[in-house]
């Protein structure tokens, strides 16, 4: 029996509005050796009939009469996947034509990499470019701040998840992907291709456009587990501060800048003992976070520029001189306005 090279796994629940665009983008792939599993998660609209309207033999509709939600639908598809690689896709996004080809080539050339994603471009309510860390060390370090992958851009090795009995955990909705990546990274290395291979639609029904409060609370659960492995047992207040700092959501004051300058070295010191994360990658990541925090605080005056220049955290920032110049410039603009 011949198995496909890639399984494309795409759940849909009442996604008729954009479903054809998503399917067509996969059928236009330059790599043709795939099966396309579409899990209809108890849709009440025309989603199932849209899928049934396609005559491509690579498409297989997997119906579920009961509402499984995202993690359940994905796990149902994983149980039936036959490809060497599994590529995720969402029913409202668009994959660029060479996406599968580029990811398969990367994984074939890098047998130590078990999972890879890519950068993505938002479209619809936003047109931003989302870059995620590229090399394996950066990816692992980034899990201390946020998910290192854009979920629908991911491709992974099926034998990896089967060998370690890995599935999505619905109790982490809507960040079950982030939680799964942290478990996968205990068994393999991972990377992102530094190019846009997927266009991610942002609209009122997408989780990127809504439900951020729940997303934050669940992300904090995952990050707490990472911090415990790092060697820290943070308080609820420290966890919330860590998340807000990482996401750049704090309205900075000098006392908050003090708190950031105290918190980030604690992370480095804990990792120095535990060696849980790659030290150089974590130093670079937190150095960059410190620079961005100071840049967002520059309206507070030249004191911020001095603090940045004098802080030991700045020595780990790979773009130190550029950031120092930007912070001084921002402080000057704030003074003149």
Q: In this structure, what is the dihedral angle of CA atoms 323, 324, 327, 328, given to the nearest 10 degrees?
A: -150
* Alpha carbons 79 and 154: distance in angstroms, whole number: 18
Residue 21 and residue 28 in contact, taking contact as beta carbons nearer than 8 Å: no
Spans of all domains in the chain: 6-212, 231-336
CA distances from 236 to 57, 224, 247 (A): 52, 9, 17
* Alpha carbons 264 and 3: distance in angstroms, whole number: 48
Q: Tell me what pLDDT residue 315 has.
A: 87
**pTM of this prediction?**
0.93
Q: Tell me what pLDDT residue 332 has.
A: 87
Q: For each of the chain's 337 residues, which pLDDT tens digit applies?
A: 689 999 999 999 999 999 999 999 999 999 999 999 999 999 999 999 999 999 999 999 999 999 999 999 999 999 999 999 999 999 999 999 999 999 999 999 999 999 999 999 999 888 999 999 999 999 999 999 999 999 999 999 999 999 999 999 999 999 999 999 999 999 999 999 999 999 999 976 555 444 458 899 999 999 999 999 999 999 999 999 999 999 999 998 999 999 999 999 999 999 999 999 999 999 999 999 999 999 999 889 888 999 998 999 998 888 888 888 888 888 888 888 7
Residue 230 and residue 276 in contact, taking contact as beta carbons nearer than 8 Å: yes
Residue 245 and residue 260 in contact, taking contact as beta carbons nearer than 8 Å: yes
Residue 117 and residue 192 in contact, taking contact as beta carbons nearer than 8 Å: yes
* Alpha carbons 77 and 284: distance in angstroms, whole number: 38
Select from 257, 239, 267 the least CA-distant residue to 331. Answer: 257
Q: Any residues with CB less than 8 A from the CB of 337 and at least 6 apart, and which?
A: none
Q: Tell me what pLDDT residue 204 has.
A: 67
Q: Tell me what pLDDT residue 210 has.
A: 41
Class for domain 6-212, per CATH? alpha beta
* Alpha carbons 119 and 195: distance in angstroms, whole number: 5
């Amino acid at each position: 029996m011949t198995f496909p090279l890639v399984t494309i796994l795409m759940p849909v629940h009442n996604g008729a509005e954009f479903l054809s665009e998503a399917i067509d983008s996969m059928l236009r792939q330059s790599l043709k050796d795939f099966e396309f599993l579409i899990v209809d998660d108890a849709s009440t609209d025309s989603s199932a009939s849209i899928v049934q309207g396609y005559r491509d033999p690579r498409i297989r509709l997997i119906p579920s009469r009961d509402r499984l939600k995202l993690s359940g639908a994905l796990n149902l598809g994983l149980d039936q996947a036959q490809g060497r690689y599994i590529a995720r896709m969402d029913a409202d996004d668009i994959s660029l034509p060479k996406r599968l080809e580029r990811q398969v080539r990367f994984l074939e050339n890098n047998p130590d990499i078990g999972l890879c994603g890519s950068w993505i471009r938002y479209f619809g309510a936003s047109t931003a470019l989302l870059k995620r860390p590229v090399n394996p060390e950066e990816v692992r370090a980034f899990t201390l701040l946020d998910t290192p992958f854009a979920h629908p851009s991911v491709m992974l090795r099926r034998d990896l998840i089967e060998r370690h009995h890995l599935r999505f955990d619905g109790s982490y909705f809507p960040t079950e992907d982030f939680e799964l990546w942290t478990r996968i990274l205990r068994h393999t290395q991972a990377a992102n291709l530094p190019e846009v291979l997927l266009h991610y639609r942002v609209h009122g029904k997408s989780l990127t456009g809504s439900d951020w409060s729940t997303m934050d609370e669940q992300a904090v659960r995952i990050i707490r587990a990472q911090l415990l492995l790092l060697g820290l047992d943070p308080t609820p207040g420290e966890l919330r501060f860590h998340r807000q700092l990482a996401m750049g959501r704090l309205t900075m004051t000098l006392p908050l800048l003090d708190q950031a300058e105290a918190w980030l070295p604690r992370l480095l010191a804990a990792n120095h003992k535990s060696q849980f994360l790659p030290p150089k990658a974590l130093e670079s990541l937190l150095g960059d976070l410190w620079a961005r925090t100071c840049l967002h605080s520059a309206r507070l005056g030249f004191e911020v520029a001095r603090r940045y220049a004098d802080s030991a955290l700045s020595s780990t920032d790979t773009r130190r001189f550029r950031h120092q110049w930007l912070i001084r410039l921002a402080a000057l603009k704030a003074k003149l306005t």
